Structure 1
Amino acid sequence: MAIVSQTATVGGVILDENNLPVENVNIFSETGSSQSNKNGFYEIRIPANSVSRITFSHISFKKIEVSITLQEGEYYELNPVMTVNVEQIGEVIIGTNKRKQVAGIQTISPEEIRLIPGANAGVENILKSLPGVNSNNELSTQYAVRGGNYDENLVYVNEIEVYRPFLIRSGQQEGLSFINSNLVQNIDFSAGGFQAKYGDKLSSVLDITYKQPVDFGVGVDLSLLGANAFAETVSGNGKFSTISGIRYRDNSLLVNSKQTETNFNPVFADAQTYITYKFSGKFHLNFLGNLSVNDYDYEPLTRQTNFGTITNPVALVIFYEGKEKDKYTTAFGAFKANYFLNDNITLKLIGSAYHTTEEEHFDILAQYGLGEVNSNIGDENLGQVQFIEGIGSQLTHARNDLDALIFNLEHKGIVEKNENIYEWGIKFTHEDIRDRLREYEVIDSAGFSIRPPFPEFQNDQPYTPFEGPLEPFTHISATNFVKINRISGYAQWSKKTFWKNNEIWLNAGVRAHQWIVTGRNINDNSQIVFSPRAQIAIKPDWKNDMLFRVSGGLYYQPPFYRELRDSTGTVNPEVKAQKSVHLVAGNDYSFKLWNRPFKLITEAYYKYLSDVNPYTLENVRIRYRAKNNAKAYAYGLDMRLNGEFVPGTQSWLSFGYLKTQENIDDRGYISRPTDQRLKFALLFQDYVPNIPNLKMQLNLVYNTGLPGGSPNYADPYLFQSRLKDYKRADVGIIYVLKDKHHSSSSSNWLNKFEELNIGFEIFNIFDVQNAITNTWVRDAYTKTQFGIPNYMTSRVFNVKLGMKF
C-alpha cells in the first residue's frame, strides 16, 4: 500500500529592516526547499507532528533558523525579518497546537471539512461527528452540545462573534451557514469548560480563523446542490490581501427525496470577504463582510406516510392547498484593528454591525385521510389506502416579520511576560429588535373545529358537538419593540511552569456582564452577573505521552431576545441569566499503533444548571417559556480516537454518553429536549493502493432518539415520547486529477490547474427513514391520536467538481 506522508505548511512574506520584500531567499528544511519570489512570498511543506528546523539564508543577510512543530494539514504564517546586524534566532520551538490542547480545544483540519460528505457539508457537518455534539437533522447546520440547545453555542470568525437568523423553524429553510469552508484556515472547538476570554454562552465555542493569502488563487466547486467560488489576492508588497467567496445552494434535490411532493424553489446565496491591510509591521487592519439572502418558496402538493405494523399497516394521506414564502436577508460587517506594541504586547479593537430582516408568510390547508393499507402481496393496489378510518383538515397561517440590528464595539489586549500571559477585554453591545408575530392553526376533524388543548376549552369534540364560539387550536398575536444594551468584559491569566520534571499549565479568569432591557409597553430591567473560570493541565514526565486537564467554573447565559419571548409572543424583561456550574476532566493520550501516530481524547463532564428557562423544540425552532422556573443537570462521557487507520489518511471514531434532565416547578425530573443518550460516529478515509488519487470518505452517525415525539403543546410530564434512533451513512468517492502533491509535465493540460478533482456522493446509503418530528392526527373510529413520523431525506446521489487555479 502506498504511504502518503503527513505534512503541514509554513508560509509568509520575508522582509528586510525597511519592511521591503526580500527576493531569492533560500528556505531549507530536512525534507525540502523553497525560495521566496519577487514579492518576498514563500511556502514550504514540513513533516507534521515532529520538530522541523527551517533555515532562511541569503548572501546579503544573516541566516535565520527556526524550529517549529505543526499538526497534519495545519498552515502557519511566519514572516521573518532579515537583517545584517542581528544574530540568528536560536532554538525557538513553535508549537501552535500546545496551548489549544492544554485548554481542551480540539483542532480540525480544513481539508477534512472540504472532503467529508454530508447533505449540508461544511464546518458544522464535521462537528456533528465529534462526541458530545448531536443533531438529528441533516438539512440543518444547528447542533446541540452536551445537553444544551442551539442557542447556547458561541461562533467566532477571526475573534468576531457572528449570528444566525431568528425565525428559521425547519432545517430545509436554513440554506447556508455563515462559515464559508473555502476561506477557512483553522478550526478550533471546545465543548465545555472554556476560558473566560470566550463569551457568555453555556455550551460550546467554535473559533474559526480565515486565511491570510500569500499568493493569487481562484477556485470553483460545482455540484447538484449548488456552486461556490472563491478568490485569493495579494498586492506586490504583501501589505494588502483579500480572500472572498460567493455561494449558491439549492436544497430541492434533498427536499424532493422526502415523503411530501412539492413545488420547491429555494434561493440560498451569499457573498463574503475578508480583507487585510498591513500599514506597517506594527499595525494591521482587517474587514469581514457578509451579505446573505435566503428566499424560500414552498408549495406542498401531496403526502403519503405508511406506518403501523406488518399485521396492521396504517397510512396517512394528505392533500395540500396554499404555499409558504419566507425570506431572510442579513448583512454583516466588522472591522478589526491589531496593534503590535512590541513583541510582548498586542492591542485589538473590533467593531461590528449585524442587520437582519426576516419574513415568514404562509397559508397552508392540509386535508387528510387516515386509513388501512392494502398489504396483499401481488395485489395491483398494494400499498394504497383501501378503508378510511378518520378524516380531517388543518389550516396554518402566519404573517411573521422581524427586523433586528445589533452593534458591537470591543477592545482586547494581550501581554506575554516570563511564561505569563495576561489577557483582558471589554465589549459594548446594542440590540434593537422589532418583531411582529401573527400566526394561528385551525384543526377540523369529522366536520368539527377542534378547540385549543387547554383546560378552559375542554370538551368531548369531535365526538360531541360543541356550540360555543370557534377558537383556533393555537393562536399567537404580538408586536414587540425591544432594545437591549450590554456591557461585558473579562480578565484572565495563564502560566506555564514546572513541578519537578512535570509541565504544568494554569489559567484563571473572570467575566462580568450587565444588560438592560427596555422597550414599548415593558418595564425596564437591569441585571449583572459574574462568571469565574479556571483550568489546570499537567503533562507528567512519563514514558507515555499523556496530558491531564481539569477545568470548570460558573457560566452564565444572559437572555437574548428569543429567550425573553414566551410561547404567546409576550416579552418578559425580568428573565434571568441561566446559570451553569461546569466541571470537566480530560485526558489526551498520544501513542503509536502499527508504527503510526494515534491520539485518544477522553473527557468526563458534569453540569448543574439553575434559573433554567424551559423550552420546546420542534425541528429547529425553539420556543421558550420565558420563566426561570426550572433546574437541570447534565453529565456524560466523550471519547474520540483519531489517527492513521489507513497510512497517510486521518480518520476518527467517536463515542458519547449523555444524560440531561430538568425539574420544572418542582414537579420532578424529566428528560430535556436534547437528552441524546448514546452517540457513535465514524469518519473514515481510504484510497486504492495502486491508485492513491482515488479516495473514499465515509461518514457514519448513530444517535439514540430524542424526546421530541410529543406534540409541542403537550404537558411534557404527561407525554415523554421519544423519536426513533437516528442512523445515517454518507459516502463520497473522489478522484484527484491534480493537487499540490502531484506535478505534471510542462505540456500537460492539467498544468492550468493547481487543484482539480471530480467525485460523487451517496447520502443516506442505506435509505434509513429518520424522523425529525411527529404529525398528530385523530382517528374518529378508534377515538385515538396517532403520531405519524415526519421523515427526513432518503437516499440521494450527488456529483461534484472542484478546481483551483
Structure 2
Amino acid sequence: MKTKYSLFAILFFFVGFSAIAQTARIKGVILDENNQPVQDVDVRAGGEKTNSDETGFYILNVPANKKVMVVFSHVSNKKTTVEVELKPNEDLEFNPVLNKKFEEIGAVIIVDSRKRVEGITNIAPQDIKLIPGANAGVENLLKTLPGVNNNSELSSGYNVRGGNYDENLVYVNEIEVYRPFLIRSGQQEGLSFTNTDMIQNVDFSAGGFQAKYGDKLSSVLDITYRTPRKFGASLEASLLGGALMVESASKDQKWAGIVGLRYRDNSLFVNSQETETNFKPTFADVQTYVTFTPNNKWQFAFLGNISQNKYNYEPLTRQTNFGTIDDPKALLVFYEGQEKDRYDTFFGALKTTYQVNENFTLKLIASAYHTLEKEYFDIQSNYSFGELDTNIGSDTVGDIVFTQEAGSQLNHARNDLDALIVNAELKGFHNINENKIEWGFKYTREDIRDRVVEWEVIDSAGFSLNPPIIDVPRDQPYNPYLGPLVPFQNVRAMNFTKIDRLSGYVQWSKKSEIGSHDVWYNLGVRAHNWQVSGDNLDGKSQTTFSPRGQFAIKPDWESDMVFRLSVGMYHQPPFYRELRGADGMVNPNVKAQQSIHYVLSNDYSFQMWERPFKLVTEAYYKSMSDVNTYTLDNVRIRYSANNDAKAFASGFDARLNGEFVPGTESWFSFGYMKTEENINDRGYIARPTDQRLKFGILFQDYVKNIPSLKLYLNLVYNTGLPGGSPSYADPYQYQSRLRDYRRADVGFSYVFTENNKSRPEEHWLKKFKDLSLGLEIFNLFNNQNAITNTWVRDVYTKVQYGIPNYMTTRVFNVKLTAKL
C-alpha cells in the first residue's frame, strides 16, 4: 500500500513542477450601486472563469506580462470590463461597481449554461435554511424534486428514480462522504453530514451524469462549502436543537476557515408517534473547513468532521387501529426492555490544488473515514390483535373486544462494527483550444470488523414458533411438540473484511456550433477494479468499465431551449453492506450491479408576468442486470448478496420553477416512475421503491402589507410503496401497498432586519445581516403516513396481517435565527 501512495506523490510533484507557467492574480469585491455585494457575477479573462461568492468576493488567475481584458457580467447588471497587464505572481485588487439594467423588472434566475447542458439542478443555499422540514437541510429540499422520494421524514436518506439509499453519491468540495452502516430507522440518524450553515453551492443530478462522478447507480449530490473572506457568525436555536457557525479570514486572504457546531434532539417527533416511549437521544457534531492559499498557484484545504449519535430508546406501549369501517381491527402492544445505540464517526480530508499553468490544473485529495457503531437491545413485546369496539357510548369503545391472536416476542441484538475507509485521489484538468480534458485515479482501502448477533423468539398462543424453513408438523395443543426449539430468526456472524479498490476516469468535453446552433459534447469512461479479502475470504479480482456520453444542443430559436441526450453505463461495485447476506455472512464474489441509463431532457427558460421562469422535463429508462435484491425495513437495507435478478426503471419528470411571487423562487414538480425486478426469471414484481406518482411543491410568499412576515410551504404527495413481506415469506405472494404518503410542512418567519437599509447606522439591528423568529408546523394536516408494515399471524385463519407503522403526527416548533 505504501508503494501505491508513493506513486501518487511522485506523479503529482513530477507533473506539477515540470510545467510552471507565469501567471498573476486579480481579486476584489464586486458591489452594486447601493454598495451591496453582488453574488454570481461571471468574471472572465481569456480562457479563465470564476464567479463571485455571496460576499461579492472573487479571485481570478490571469496570464502575466501581457494585456488581458477582464469582463464582469451579470444578468441583472450592465457589463463592466477592465484591461490589466500584471507581472508574474503579482496580485491586483480591483473592486468594480456594477450598474443595474433599468429595463429589467424584478429579480432574475441565474442560469449556468454548463449546468443546463449537464442536466444538473442547482439549489440556492438560502432556500435550504428557510424551507421547513422535520429533517431540515439539503435532503429536505431534494424530496420536493421530481424523481426523488423518501417516506421517512426523520431520515436524511432518499431514493432516486427507483434506486435505494445506498445508490447515491454525495460529495463535499469534491470529497466523497459516507453514512453510518447500522442505522435501522430514520429517528436514529439525528444529523446528516452536510452542515447547511457552511454551504455555498448545491448541484444535483438524478441520472445520466458524467464519467467524472463515481460508481453509483442513481444520483450525484455535489456540495461546495464556501471559503469565507471576512468575519461572520450565525446562530440557530429551536425546540429541536441548535447550531452555531463562525467564519473568518486573515487580512491577506491567505488563510480562511469556517467552523460549525450542531445539536439535535428528535424527542418532539418521536413522542408524537403511536409508540409511547422514554426517549433520550443526543445527536451532535462539529465540522470545519480551512483553506490556505500561499500564492496564486497553490491552495491547500482541510475538511474535518466529528459526530456522536447516542440513541437510548425504551418503548412502553403502542396501539395501532386499522382495517375498515365494517371490519375495524387493532394491535395493542406492551413493551419491556430498552435499546441503546451509539454511532461515533470521524472524518478528515486534505485537498491541494496546484495550477500548473492557465490551461492545466492538478488536484490531490486524501481522506479517511472511521466509524464505531454499537447496536444493543433487548425488547420484549406482549401483543394482542383482534376486533376493535367502535360503538360510541360503549364502555369498551376503542378497546379490543375479540382477540384473534395473542403472544409475545423477544428481540435481542449485540451488534458492533468498526470500519476504516481511506482514499487517495489525483485529478487533472486541461484546456486545449476548444477542448476540456479531465482525468483522475483513485485508490481506496476499506477495512471492516463486524460482529452480528441477532435473534428473535416468537411465542404465539402458548407455544414457540419455529421459522418456516424448519418443516416439522405441529398440531398443538392436541399433541405435544417434540421437535427442536429454535429462534424464529437467528443471525450470528463475525466478519473481518478488507476491500482494495483502484478506479479512474477520463473524459472529454467541447462546446461547438452546428450552423447557428450551439452544441456541447461530452464523452468519458470509468474503470473500477476491486478485490475482497479477509478471514476465510478469498474473493476474485473484478473489473468494470463504464462508458458514458452526453450531447446537448441550444437551437438558434427565439425561445430559450436546451435539448440534452445522455446515454451511459453505470456500475456499482459492492460496498460492505451489499456483500453481507441475510445470514450475516460475507460473499466476497458479489458482482457489481449494472445499469444502462437513457435520459432525454428539455430545458426551457421563458418570461411570464414579466418575471423569469424555467420548465425542465426529462424522460428516462434504466435497464439493470446483476441486481442485488434487498428488503427495506424503515431505512435498514438487507441484501440477498447473490445478484439473482434483473430490473428496470422508467419514468417522466417535470419541474416548473420561477417567481410566482415577485422576489421569491418557488417550484412545482411532478414525476411518474415504474420500477420492477425479475428474480430468477420468475416474472416481474414491484421493487421496494416502486412509487408511481410524485407531486412536490416548494412555495415562498410574504404578507403584502407586512413584507417582513414570510411564509414557506413544503408539500409532498407520493403514491404508496409496496408494503413488504413477512420474514421468510415469498415476496411474489405479498404485493400489497401502503397508503399514499401526504405531508405538508409550513413555516412562518418574521424578519426583523427586513428594513435595515432604511435604518440609521447606529440602530442595534444594523449589527445583524439577518435576525428572524419563526413558527414551524410539521405535518400540517396531521396525515397518518406509514413507512413499513408489522406482520402479525392469525393463529386461527393462518392469515398474515400487515399492520402499518405510522410516522410522526402534527408537531409545532419555534425557531430563532441570527446572522452577523
TM-score by length of 2: 0.89
Matched, 1:312 2:327: yes
Residue 764 of structure 1 contacts residue 796 of structure 1 at CA under 8 Å; is this kept in 2?
yes
Shift of 1:661: 0.7
Identify which of 640, 646, 653 aligns with 2:668: 653
Matched, 1:517 2:546: no
Deviations 1:308-366 (A, max 9, x none): 22233222111100000000000000000000112211100000000001000000000
Identify which of 25, 34, 38 aligns with 1:45: 38
Alignment match, 1:32? 33
* Larger mean Cα displacement after TM superposition, 409-418 or 771-780: 771-780
Mapping for residues 496-645 of structure 1, pairs under 5 Å? 496-645=511-660
Alignment match, 1:211? 226
Residue 38 of structure 2 contacts residue 54 of structure 2 at CA under 8 Å; is this kept in 1?
no
Mapping for residues 171-182 of structure 1, pairs under 5 Å? 171-182=186-197
Q: Give distance in 1, aligned partners of 2:630 and 2:61.
A: 56
Alignment match, 1:79? 59
Q: Give distance in 2, aligned partners of 1:630 and 1:676.
A: 20
> Quick one: percent identity of the two aligned structures?
62
Alignment match, 2:266? 251
Shift of 1:378: 3.2
Structure 2 letter corresponding to 1:776? W
**CA 1:653–1:20: 2 relative to 1, 3 Å:** closer
Alignment match, 1:747? 762
Structure 2 letter corresponding to 1:487? L
**CA 1:349–1:598: 2 relative to 1, 3 Å:** same
Deviations 1:150-174 (A, max 9, x none): 1100000000000000000111101
Shift of 1:202: 0.5
Mapping for residues 266-281 of structure 1, pairs under 5 Å? 266-281=281-296
Residue 446 of structure 1 contacts residue 462 of structure 1 at CA under 8 Å; is this kept in 2?
no
Q: Give distance in 1, aligned partners of 2:295 and 2:143.
A: 41
Deviations 1:607-637 (A, max 9, x none): 1111111111111011101101111111100
Residue 70 of structure 1 contacts residue 96 of structure 1 at CA under 8 Å; is this kept in 2?
no
* Larger mean Cα displacement after TM superposition, 712-721 or 391-400: 712-721
Matched, 1:89 2:89: no
Residue 613 of structure 1 contacts residue 626 of structure 1 at CA under 8 Å; is this kept in 2?
yes
Where does the alignment leave 5 or more consecutive residues of structure 2 unmatched? 1-21, 75-109
Alignment match, 1:426? 441
Residue 719 of structure 2 contacts residue 739 of structure 2 at CA under 8 Å; is this kept in 1?
yes
Residue 655 of structure 2 contacts residue 668 of structure 2 at CA under 8 Å; is this kept in 1?
yes
Q: Give distance in 2, aligned partners of 1:200 and 1:651.
A: 32
Q: Give distance in 2, aligned partners of 1:166 and 1:719.
A: 28
Q: Give distance in 2, aligned partners of 1:753 and 1:741.
A: 9
Q: Give distance in 1, aligned partners of 2:581 and 2:767.
A: 58
Alignment match, 1:682? 697
Give SS of 1:325's match. strand
RMSD (Å) for aligned C-alpha atoms: 2.5
Residue 709 of structure 1 contacts residue 723 of structure 1 at CA under 8 Å; is this kept in 2?
no
Alignment match, 2:9? none
Identify which of 316, 326, 340 aligns with 2:341: 326
Structure 1 letter corresponding to 2:236? D
Structure 1 letter corresponding to 2:59? N
* Larger mean Cα displacement after TM superposition, 739-748 or 325-334: 739-748
Identify which of 158, 166, 190 aligns with 2:173: 158
Shift of 1:774: 1.1
Deviations 1:584-626 (A, max 9, x none): 0010001111111110000100111111111111110111011
Residue 32 of structure 1 contacts residue 45 of structure 1 at CA under 8 Å; is this kept in 2?
no
Matched, 1:123 2:103: no
Shift of 1:65: 13
Shift of 1:190: 0.4
Shift of 1:524: 3.0
Deviations 1:34-62 (A, max 9, x none): 4xxxxxxxx7226x8xxx7989xxxxxxx
Alignment match, 1:191? 206
Q: Give distance in 2, aligned partners of 1:459 and 1:77.
A: 77
Q: Give distance in 1, aligned partners of 2:245 and 2:705.
A: 33
Give SS of 2:632's match. strand
Shift of 1:522: 1.6
Give SS of 2:375's match. strand
Structure 1 letter corresponding to 2:504? G
**CA 1:690–1:461: 2 relative to 1, 3 Å:** farther
Give SS of 1:562's match. helix
Give SS of 2:126's match. helix
Residue 53 of structure 1 contacts residue 65 of structure 1 at CA under 8 Å; is this kept in 2?
no
Shift of 1:33: 5.4
Structure 1 letter corresponding to 2:185? S
Residue 463 of structure 1 contacts residue 780 of structure 1 at CA under 8 Å; is this kept in 2?
no
Q: Give distance in 1, aligned partners of 2:537 and 2:276.
A: 45
Identify which of 350, 355, 361 aligns with 1:346: 361
* Larger mean Cα displacement after TM superposition, 167-176 or 305-314: 305-314
Residue 674 of structure 1 contacts residue 706 of structure 1 at CA under 8 Å; is this kept in 2?
yes
Give SS of 1:777's match. strand
Residue 496 of structure 1 contacts residue 503 of structure 1 at CA under 8 Å; is this kept in 2?
yes
Alignment match, 1:664? 679
Give SS of 2:781's match. coil
* Larger mean Cα displacement after TM superposition, 784-793 or 505-514: 784-793
Give SS of 2:620's match. strand
Q: Give distance in 1, aligned partners of 2:675 and 2:764.
A: 57
**CA 1:90–1:319: 2 relative to 1, 3 Å:** closer
Shift of 1:101: 1.3
**CA 1:69–1:402: 2 relative to 1, 3 Å:** closer
Aligned length: 764
Shift of 1:20: 10
Q: Give distance in 2, aligned partners of 1:165 and 1:649.
A: 36
Matched, 1:142 2:157: yes
Q: Give distance in 1, aligned partners of 2:473 and 2:624.
A: 35
Q: Give distance in 1, aligned partners of 2:816 and 2:331.
A: 40
TM-score by length of 1: 0.91
Matched, 1:473 2:488: yes
Q: Give distance in 2, aligned partners of 1:645 and 1:753.
A: 29
Shift of 1:720: 1.1
**CA 1:803–1:416: 2 relative to 1, 3 Å:** same
Identify which of 334, 352, 363 aligns with 2:378: 363
Identify which of 302, 311, 316 aligns with 2:317: 302
